[in-house]
Amino acid sequence: MIHSLFLINHSGDIFLEKHWKSVISRSVCDYFFEAREKAVDPENVPPVLQTPHHYLISIYRGKLFFLSVIQTEVAPLFVIEFLHRVADTIQDYFGECSEGIIKDNIVTVYELLEEMLDNGFPLATESNVLKEMIRPPTILRSVVNTLTGSSNVGDTLPTGQLSNVPWRRAGVKYTNNEAYFDVIEEIDAILDKSGTTVFAEIQGVIEACVRLTGMPDLTLSFMNPRLLDDVSFHPCVRFKRWESERVLSFIPPDGNFTLMNYHVSSQNLVAIPVYVKQSISFFETGPCGRLDITIGPKQTMGKTVENMMVTIHMPKAVLNANLTATQGTYTYDLTTKVLVWDIGKLNPQKLPNLRGSLSTQVGVPKPEDNPSLNIDLKIQQLAISGLKVSRLDMYGEKYKPFKGVKYLTKAGKFQVRT
Amino acid sequence: MPYLGGEDTVRELRRALSNPNVQSDQLRYRNTILKVIRAMSQGVDVSGLFSDMVKACATVDIVQKKLVYVFLCSYAALNPELSLLVINTLRKDCQDPNPMVRSLALRNMTNLRLPSLMEYVEQPLTAGLRDRAACVRRVAVLGWAKLHNLQPNSEIDAAVVNELYSLLRDPDPVVMVNCLRALEEILKEEGGIAINKPITHHLLNRLSDVWGQCEVLRILQRYRPQSEDELFDILSLLDASLVSPHPQVMAATLSLFLSLCSGLPAVSLAALERVRGPLLAACGSVSRELRFTALCHIQLLLRSLPGLMGAHYKRFFCGYAEPAYIKQRKMQVLVELVNDDNVTMLLDELKGYCTDVNTDTAQAAISAIGRIGRSYSDRCLEILTGLLALKQEHITSAVVQTMRDLVWVCPQCSDTVCLALEGCEETLQDSQGRQALLWLLGVYGEQVSSAPYTLEVFIDGVRSEVSLGVKMELLTTTMRLFLCRPAETQDMLGRLLHYCIEEEPDMCVRDQALLYYRLLHCGIEETQKVLQGRRSDPSLGVLIGRPSEPISQWACSFNTLEPLRQGTVETDSTSRGSPEHVTFEPKPNTDLSDTLNFSLTLLLFLGDEKMEEDYMCLEEQIQFPAIPHCSPQSLQAAMQLVNIQTLAFTPPHTLPWRVYLYTHTQHAGDSPHITLILGELLYTGEANQRAVLKKALKGFLSILTTVLHTLSSERK
């Protein structure tokens, strides 16, 4: 199925290759480089390329291309998902997925790839199972390793593979039993000039960190489960019970995992936490333009908006910006033409404002495409959709676990048009 | 990756590896091996260390073993003789009490991929199949597939195949799936693993991890249930995974669903409705590649259920920072979703994309507006004319091309288009755009007052013109304009023909000029007949609002790479190049056919020779028995059986009813002539007698054959 994998960095160097069937020469990547050249922006490289003898399916993550070489017709979703799983695993193991970190841990990465795929077929992809076979490096362990010479390779058989719950290993023991759930929601929205919502939806995810002894069986219920439109679960969740009772019943994996993803789409009204008053205009005569942006809270349910940040991709003709901000700082990158205004906490009494003039190139017609504002924000202790966890029960074990739920709202692809 | 100082590194590593002090110190030995692997990944050629590494293999340290195996598998093919030394250690490891060591040894034994070692590998592999640890069995099963790949032509050992079949019932789900995969590879010649009823139901009830599930579902597509009851049993088992959170499982399930229900369109349609949620969720996924793939598959679904995503059209609005390939797909989807309620919203949205920084995206947006213009022409033309005012090169070019395509389908727009054309020739730079402009000038020459002046500029610059297409288009346009405005154009036509015949180096252009020259000799009426071919027929409606296709048309390409690939080609097949290339016809005498029930007009034969004569003399009309009002689809299907393709047809129940057909033939023999035949089937509606479709087709066929015979005899 998956014949080979090449990791290619931003500047087009292949810095890792792995072949599961026979060795395929690096020259197969030339087709990819050709497409990369044509696309100008690395993000625009089409994910599937056809060459005379192979298909190249690639994903772009963390400024790296994961390029797989396929010789037969396959299900594209299968391969794309698998490549993401590889990237996820690397991220999970080393904390980030970048060229430097992969090069530093090249041996572990090779081992991981060897375990994840055999003869081109996915073998062990659950991070719990992998972590028992190949232990992830920690600072402490790497110090110990250099002193004692032990390595990150587990030398016992992963027990999880033999338990009848494939995602959980048997015989887990903790002194402190705890289960934490983070409800994180991202608002994807497009607002038009006048502030009306063109499109808005919420992408939610529940991340869990469960450290419980034995084989606990958990049940998580919500105050308002009907809110959720599309849901997708970790394989541990019993789908039948969700369909009949709208509760999440599951035997959790050990450690960190994503319990569920959900969407709240525009059918339900999506609250927009901030409003933006803006005017960006370029004058017909004279090499300048004006910019005036004010941001204020809208539907925040009484919580403070933090980490506000506004990013504007200016038209190419804009040479410089001369602005004053009543709060926060702004930077204008002359080469990429990106204006970033870092506001910080939003104060409802004194609304932050950024205004001033833009100087444009002389002799160039005024830019006709208006830049759009991308907004970043964070609201602690609030799920903007109104989703609330009502209770968490545990069956199957005797002890009393420590439980906690945290809410966080972030801006995803939040964009205001001008 | 070139690595400087590679040789020194290798020398140093060799010294360290063969140093007895290092060898005796576990820690140092392992670290040296680690260095070797690191060097290997940096692209240093460390194959010279092979013999030293083989020695390092014999150790109790499992970590060291793993590292050495990584090395050995990479370089085994270069050192087949030395690899023989490893086999002994590996075989010993296969007896190890630790199952992890056993599986490691077994896997690497098969990963060496040396045909010379096969005889040593077979025995441990057979033992591995009966190992009590599941992880060893997993490796052993796939090992047989690898072994078979090494010597694909060798005899298949029936005993092994039987053993693998019996392991399908293994308690470990991964072993089961691996068995499937191995059998698929080993039995490829015989069409893969044989799927019968017990195996099917066993597999369906034991769907395991995500990846295995996809595999099982794919293989089960070969199974045909024996009864309706069994079919519905299977379908209800599959129902849950149809809304699986994993898009790849969902897609694989739907694919199987569609192949099982090929005889039950209602059930298939219900399945499509059911996957709408998961598909839309995949469209909003974080991974852009996933979003792209989901979009491509939604396009497929829309072919059969145009209304499927109607309410969710906002999901397909483009974000600012999305990659171009996603934006373009989203626009294609948006065009399909347009209706009376959302058209204003959609057009506003698309208008915003027209000024995108990426020129491809901008052009895609413009042609999307053009597509919508086929049903909502006024609003779209307003936007398109507005875009011309921006005076941007790539935008103007795309707009003019879009207008050309639009006018061909909706001739009623021509007035607005002609008004808009004034003055845009200055911004046009690329050949495609200029060709489109020329075509419009030629066809609507009377309505554009400045047409001759625009043409004059082109003709003055013909010497420096590089594009072949523009030159050919220029010739045709000037000829056409000459026919409707002779006084203004005569002089420049003369100059152009003179240049093209006397000086033009390209044969194609020269031939065309010669053709026109001779045509003019035949008299103005003949010329008119050839050049002022029929303009598009307002009632010709094939391209608007395409009818929903049966699911079976695309079911086989669902969840394959097909839908991801075709897109770019598909969108433009109708819009690139002048519409004339589709219907490049001398005017058929339609007025003659009044009395006929059915007439076939052969429009054009494009042979490889005597094109010019063919242009003029081929007009044939043949009578047919009338065809009862049959649906275009059935006609199309019937025609395809005899290799006649339909180009376009008028909607059913309109009169006169027309079908344009074409076919091409290949003359066998020493000279492979290809003849392209275009035909028009016309039904004026005066028929009273009824005849069956078959008869008409037979007639058509016999006529085509006779025509072909005459053609080939002419050649001789």
Residues 6 or more apart whose CB falls under 8 angstroms from that of A27 comprise none
- The per-residue pLDDT for B394 is 87
A369: chain B residues, CB-CB within 8 Å: 355-357
**CA dist B620 → B589, B598, B602, B603, B680 (Å):** 9, 13, 6, 8, 11
What local confidence, expressed as pLDDT, does residue A341 receive? 92
Residue of B106, B211, B313, B560 best to disrupt the A interface, most CBs of A under 10 A: B211
Cβ <8 Å between A59 and B287: yes
Q: Which of B1, B282, B289 sits opposite A59 (nearest CB)?
A: B289
pLDDT beyond 90 at A66: yes
Q: Look over chain B and give the mean of its residue pLDDT values, rounded to a whole number.
A: 76
Residue B645 bridge partners (DSSP): B662
Share of chain A above pLDDT 70, in %: 90
pLDDT category at B101 given cuts 50, 70, 90 is confident
Q: Residue B507: its pLDDT value, please?
A: 87
For residue B598, is pLDDT > 50?
A: no
Q: Quick one: pLDDT at residue B686?
A: 45
Task: Report the residue from A59, A107, A125 with minimal CB separation from B211.
Answer: A125
Q: Cβ contacts of residue B548 below 8 Å, gap of 6+?
A: B303, B304, B305, B306
Q: How far apart are CA B181 and CA B356, in angstroms?
A: 46
How much of chain A, in percent, has pLDDT values that exceed 90? 16
Evaluate if residue A4 carries a pLDDT over 60. Answer: yes
In this prediction, residue A179 carries a pLDDT of: 92
Coil vs helix vs strand at B605: strand
For the cut 80, the answer to whether the pLDDT of residue B691 exceeds it is no
Q: Does residue B693 register a pLDDT over 50?
A: no
Query: Quick one: average pLDDT of A196-204?
Result: 84
Cβ–Cβ under 8 Å, residues A418 and A234: no
- Residues from chain A that touch B98, judged by Cβ atoms under 8 A, are 157
Question: What's the CA angle centered on B297, arms B295 and B302, to 5 degrees?
Answer: 95
Q: Which of B24, B27, B28, B41 is best to mutate for the A interface (most A CBs within 10 A)?
A: B41
pLDDT reported for residue A6: 92
Token pair for B399: 């707009």
Which backbone phi and psi does B336 adopt, to 5 degrees? -70, -25
pLDDT tens digits for A77-88? 889 999 999 998
Backbone phi, psi, residue A157, to 5°? -70, 130
List Cα–Cα distances, B316 to B96, B326, B569, in angstroms: 58, 10, 21
CA nearest neighbour of A33 among A65, A61, A76: A65
Confidence band for B587, pLDDT divided at 50, 70 and 90: very low
pLDDT of residue A407 exceeding 90, the answer is yes
Q: Measuring CA to CA, how many Å separate A390 from each of A137, A247, A404, B6?
A: 37, 10, 11, 63
pLDDT at A145 over 80: no
Task: Indicate the length of chain B as a whole number.
Answer: 716
* Cβ contact B251–A106 (<8 Å): no
Q: What is the pLDDT of residues A93-130, one digit of tens each?
A: 888 888 888 888 888 888 888 888 888 888 888 777 78
Band of residue A69 on the pLDDT scale cut at 50, 70, 90: very high
Residue A143, pLDDT score: 57
Percent of chain B with pLDDT over 70: 76
Per-residue H/E/C for B285-296: CCCHHHHHHHHH
Amino acid in the structure at residue B113: R
Residue A405 confidence (pLDDT): 92
Separation of alpha carbons A53 and A72, rounded Å: 9
List, for residues B102-148, the tens digit of each pLDDT value.
888 888 888 888 888 888 888 888 888 888 888 889 889 988 888 88
Residue B625, pLDDT > 70, answer: no
Give the separation between CA A330 and CA B237, rounded to whole angstroms.
58
What is the pLDDT at residue A367? 67
Distance from CA of B35 to the nearest CA of A (A): 10
Alpha helices in A134-205 (DSSP H): 139-148
Q: Which residues of A touch B215 (CB under 8 A)?
A: 121
Instruction: Quote the pLDDT of residue B604.
Output: 38
A368 against A14, higher pLDDT: A14
Q: What is the mean pLDDT of residues B384-410?
A: 87
Strand A402-416 and strand A288-297: pairing?
unpaired
Most A CBs within 10 A among B46, B112, B255, B320, hence the mutation to make, goes to B320
3-state secondary structure of B538: coil
Contacts of A266 in chain B (CB under 8 A): 314
Given this model, what pLDDT does residue B571 score?
A: 39
Taking an 8 Å cut-off on Cβ atoms, the answer to whether A153 and B215 are in contact is no
Inspect the interface and report whether the beta carbons of A151 and B280 lie closer than 8 Å.
no
Pick from A153, A161, A368: which is nearest to B390 by CB? A368
Q: Of the given ranges (B253-257, B670-674, B702-706), which has the lowest mean pLDDT?
A: B670-674
B182 has pLDDT over 80? yes
Is A39 in Cβ contact with B324 (below 8 Å)?
yes
pLDDT of residue B646: 61
CB A124 within 8 A of CB A131: no
Q: Assess whether pLDDT exceeds 50 at residue B504.
A: yes
Of A181-185, B5-9, B452-456, least confident by mean pLDDT is B5-9
Work out the average pLDDT over B640-650: 59
Q: What is the mean pLDDT of chain A?
A: 83
Q: What is the pLDDT of residue B574?
A: 37
Separation of CA B52 from chain center:
51
Nearest CA in chain B to A370: B355
**Residues forming a β-bridge with A338:** A313, A333
Q: Which residues of B touch A239 (CB under 8 A)?
A: 240
Q: Comparing A269-278, A308-317, B354-363, B546-555, which segment has the lowest mean pLDDT?
A: B546-555
Q: Write b or e for each residue in A298-315: b if 16 or more Cβ atoms lie within 10 A of its Cβ, otherwise e.
A: eebeeeebebbbbbbbbb
Decide if A277 contacts A352 (C-beta within 8 A): no
Alpha-carbon distance of B661 to A183, in angstroms, equals 60
pLDDT exceeds 50 at position A242: yes
pLDDT digits (tens, 9 = 90+) for B46-69: 888 888 888 888 787 777 888 888
Q: Give the lowest-confidence range in B13-27, B150-164, B507-521, B560-574.
A: B560-574
CA angle A35/A39/A40 to nearest 5° reads: 125
Measured torsion, CA atoms of residues B122, B127, B128, B133, in degrees rounded to the nearest 10: -170
Quickly state the pLDDT bin for A182 (edges 50, 70, 90). very high
Burial class (CB in 10 A: 0-12, 13-18, 19+), B228: exposed
Q: How many residues does the structure list for chain A?
A: 418
pLDDT given at position A267:
57
Determine how β-strand A402-416 pairs with β-strand A178-191.
Answer: parallel
